[in-house]
Amino acid sequence: MPDYNICFAGAAGDGIKEAGVLAAKLFSKLGYNAFVYQEYQSLIRGGHNASVVRFSERKIRSHRYYYDVLICLEDYVYDRHKDRLKGILIHDSKFNLDGKAVPMTEFVKEEQKPLFFRNAVALGVLAYVFGIDFEVLEDVFIESYGNKASDDIVLAEEGYNFAEENFERLEELEKIGEEKKVHSGNEMVALGMIKAGLERFYAYPMTPTSPILHFLVRREDVIAYQPESEIAAIMMAIGSAFAGKRAATATSGGGFALMTESISLAGMAEVPVLIVYGQRSAPSTGMATYTAQEDLYFALNPAHGEFPLIVASPIDCEDAYKLGAELLNLAWKFQTPAILLSDKHLLESYETVSYPKVKRERINIVRKSEGVFKRYEITRNGISPYAVPPAIVKANSNEHDEYGFTTDDAEIARKMYEKRMKKVKEIEKEVRNSYVEEGKGSETIVTWGSNYGAVREVAEELGFKVVAVRFLKPLDVPKIKENSYCVECNYQGLLAGMIEKEQGIKLRRILRWDGRPFTPEELKEVLK
């Protein structure tokens, strides 16, 4: 069964990321599953960028540690990757490296194009090496770039022809099924939110969630806007929800820190808002373009006061689609903030995907009233009727009565506080048994977020049971055995600590905090 791991390596400005995504689309054209891991520094030019593309006949959710093919577009990047190479090296012939030299720069200069077009030459070579007809790659370029694809096609064909004359093929890939769609985690979050009725999106750019804004601003079914700050973004989302429009925002740690007071406002005013929170290495700026799961406790306790809050973390790109929809629906059903907590690895990685079945869960919205509407009416389950203008409705960040008018009356305050907190129990019932539990091994690996891909693969091979936790507030996790493993990308084992406290057990932690995700090989080395 073909299962290859390919790394494109070069500098910022070499088109490394795009090469990886196009390669994934190339293999998916033939029906293969693909996964793309993106690693890059916070630089516009220079430095080290890598795009690791894995494809297989089986469903995969992780790249591998070792490379079957390494394609270097700069010579200095070779030293960073050479210890991982277990197969062939392809490089620009202007570099003195011991591999398959291709005159990439020469071809590009002959066509009088910028040097980043060398990635097209490299893709042509890759297509030949894996026995893929050039017409398949040509289709990928046309579908990706439309009438701007001609230069890429010309240069890719030069690379293909050069490889045909000089290299042997590594594989003769055949079409094994229908073409699969390729999306990043960010794109799947956006598509899931749209499926649940997203109408407004506001965000100030911040890695790793900026691509959500870039993706949505191109669409006609959502109004997407970049305001002057993260505070403005969440306040605009809250304002849109007050007016009856389903709205969301997205950010990372530093931006989320600016949103905390507004989250508390949404909790008090009972206004639904969805925040997509993409974790990255911290504290402070940390390593801004590298992954982490260090902000779990911050996301669970993001603002002053007690109020219902829903926090969930997707385990792969398809789950990002599902939770993008589910959390927007839940925010509106329970009239409260919800947080989709993910990480750079999942959000910026690409996978071949299908689309889980989700839909917009509609709620009744009152739009007319005789006098001031009883917006915060005390009900059995704490969920009040939702009203928006032109109904006469008042939203208030102060403690208030059932009509929204400010109060400091002790009895009214007690009843209104209890009303809001009743929703916590309703949310707990709604999300019960939301975790993923797979395998029948005698030992268990618990994890959350993007770790799931590598964990699941190793668990299948070694015979472990896997529990992937999705809902983190309220925490929804089955009974875990003493001394089970917990895999996380943080220093202390934050989820492990929560489970230990709740269930009175001790877990064995497998942790990393260097900004890189786990690969199956690294986990297997610890677990075998």
What interhelical angle do 410-431 and 317-334 show, nearest 10? 150
Reported as a single tens digit per residue, the pLDDT across 241-258 is 999 999 999 999 999 999
Task: Look at the block and give the residue holding tokens 């009303």.
Answer: 419
Q: What is the pTM of this model?
A: 0.97
Q: Are 321 and 287 found together in one domain?
A: yes
Out of 332, 353, 374, pick the residue that ends a domain: 353
Examine the pLDDT at 502 and tell me if it is beyond 90.
yes
pLDDT of 198 reads 98
Q: Are 145 and 164 found together in one domain?
A: yes
pLDDT of 95 reads 96
Closest of 500, 475, 467 to residue 310, by C-alpha:
475
Out of 159, 179, 199, pick the residue that ends a domain: 179
Examine the pLDDT at 228 and tell me if it is beyond 90.
yes
Residue 400 lies in a domain: yes
Q: Are 221 and 100 found together in one domain?
A: no
Average pLDDT over residues 284-288: 96
Task: Round the average pLDDT of the chain to a whole number and report it.
Answer: 97
Examine the pLDDT at 460 and tell me if it is beyond 90.
yes
Q: Are 136 and 223 found together in one domain?
A: no
Q: Are 220 and 342 found together in one domain?
A: yes
Q: Are 306 and 186 found together in one domain?
A: yes
Q: Are 97 and 215 found together in one domain?
A: no
Beta bridge partners, 340, equal 276, 312
pLDDT of 528 reads 85
What is the rounded distance in angstroms from the CA atom of residue 326 to the CA atom of residue 329?
Answer: 5
The pLDDT confidence band at residue 282, using thresholds 50, 70 and 90, is very high
The CATH number that applies at residue 476 is: 3.40.50.920
Q: Are 288 and 393 found together in one domain?
A: no
pLDDT of 40 reads 96
Q: Are 47 and 149 found together in one domain?
A: yes
Q: Are 295 and 197 found together in one domain?
A: yes
Average pLDDT over residues 265-275: 98
Average pLDDT over residues 341-367: 97
Reported as a single tens digit per residue, the pLDDT across 139-197 is 999 999 999 999 999 999 999 999 999 999 999 999 999 999 999 999 999 999 999 99
Reported as a single tens digit per residue, the pLDDT across 73-84 is 999 999 999 999
pLDDT of 1 reads 81
Residue 358 lies in a domain: no
pLDDT of 246 reads 98
What is the rounded distance in angstroms from the CA atom of residue 363 to the CA atom of residue 50?
Answer: 45
Residue 359 lies in a domain: no
Number of domains composing the chain: 4
What is the rounded distance in angstroms from the CA atom of residue 511 to the CA atom of residue 215?
Answer: 33
Examine the pLDDT at 499 and tell me if it is beyond 90.
yes
Dihedral pair phi/psi, residue 43, rounded to 5° = -135, 150
What is the rounded distance in angstroms from the CA atom of residue 393 to the CA atom of residue 327?
Answer: 25
Of all residues in the chain, the percent with pLDDT exceeding 70 is 100
What is the rounded distance in angstroms from the CA atom of residue 463 to the CA atom of residue 439?
Answer: 7
What is the domain extent for residue 423? 365-431
pLDDT of 128 reads 98
Q: Are 144 and 98 found together in one domain?
A: yes
Closest of 13, 25, 14 to residue 350, by C-alpha:
25
The pLDDT confidence band at residue 117, using thresholds 50, 70 and 90, is very high
What is the rounded distance in angstroms from the CA atom of residue 52 to the CA atom of residue 8?
Answer: 6
pLDDT of 160 reads 98
Q: Are 459 and 403 found together in one domain?
A: no
Reported as a single tens digit per residue, the pLDDT across 52-79 is 999 999 999 999 999 999 999 999 999 9
